[in-house]
Chains A and B, each alone.
Chain A
């Protein structure tokens, strides 16, 4: 008998974060992803598929298969 996997209820999707593949639950939103990456509360900015995601929208931004996210910070530079 084939048992359902532990994650039966959660489909896993793949997306790209700063050029690296990441796997997340299909019901994940951006705020939860940032939390999982230990980036919550940091001063950063996020672009999703070429569009800026305002900070106020992180919790409302559902992630989708194939999304390309860029997460940036300020660093030293001239």
Chain B
């Protein structure tokens, strides 16, 4: 006898991106791991449902049987988020994502990033805006990497991007959240999900981003270049969950320079004179 069909449980507090609900608020990159097995184990430990991938020229005439990333992370199990890492112009970014859409059988959720210079990998917002316009017109659902400028973030949202993804600090730097004030301005103004993308170094950074009210965090190097990537992936999962819950719970107001005991002041065995 067949087991009764279990309906999918509704997701409490889902992350909504382009009309789809996700359980995990951690998006994870697949670069810089030792091998595909480590990639797979780290992604599993992170609980991420959305994973970023890069699009690159295939090797011609050498090692035809090399393993493929998509064997380790099947698109049937994970939502692929192809990126435009390494693109320095709107045109290159658009071409790359059109190739990605063909590669992934029409999949249209993408991560747009157009870089400004190879030292900082800081986004070129002019080219990013241009590419976003073309891609949205072309039917893509664009999650967009950008600076932490609240005006640009709003413009990208107005163009029709499905998520804005400001940096916390430079890509791969692990410097943490440099400007929580700007992130809060962006969060306060946005009607689409705000995803901190880039700069997270360790679990507390991810928790802080979520406590600020970010909808999700995207990271790669913080996990891949940890001494133990799989353990760090697990830590990041907890940090994102903890930060989200703290945000939803609403923190206590800060009382600067004024302590307040948690235990009763009355009933002490040697009461202090008032």
Residues of A whose CB lies within 8 Å of any CB of B are 17-20, 22, 37-39, 42-47, 50, 52, 54-55, 70-78
Contact = CB atoms under 8 A, between A and B. Distances in A.
A39 B66 CA distance: 11
Going nearest first, the 10 A-B pairs with the smallest beta carbon separation are A77-B54, A78-B29, A78-B220, A38-B64, A45-B103, A45-B102, A76-B30, A18-B57, A77-B31, A76-B31
Given A71-B58, A72-B58, A45 B100 contact: yes
Nearest to A39: B58
Contacts of B103: 43-45, 72-74
Main secondary structure of the interface of B (DSSP, over half): mixed
A78 B58 contact: no
Contacts of A45: 55, 99-100, 102-103
Contacts of B101: 52
A55 B103 CA distance: 9
B130 interface: no
Contacts of B45: none
B69 A74 contact: yes
B33 to A, nearest CB: 6
Interface stretch (B12-20, B80-88, B146-154, B175-183): B80-88
B56 A72 contact: yes
Given A44-B103, A45-B99, A73-B103, A19 B57 contact: yes
A75 B53 contact: yes
Interface of B: 29-33, 36, 39, 52-58, 60-61, 64, 68-70, 80, 82-83, 85, 95-96, 98-104, 171-172, 198, 218-221
Given A52-B102, A76-B39, A43 B61 contact: no
A52 B95 CA distance: 9
Contact of B53 (A22, A44, A47, A76): A76
Contact of A47 (B56, B99, B104, B171): B99
Contacts of A22: 60
A39 to B, nearest CB: 7
A38 B58 CA distance: 11
Given A37-B61, A74-B103, A76-B32, A43 B54 contact: no
A43 B58 CA distance: 10
Q: Which of B60, B82, B221 has the most CB of A within 10 A?
A: B60
A75 B69 contact: yes
Contacts of B30: 76-78
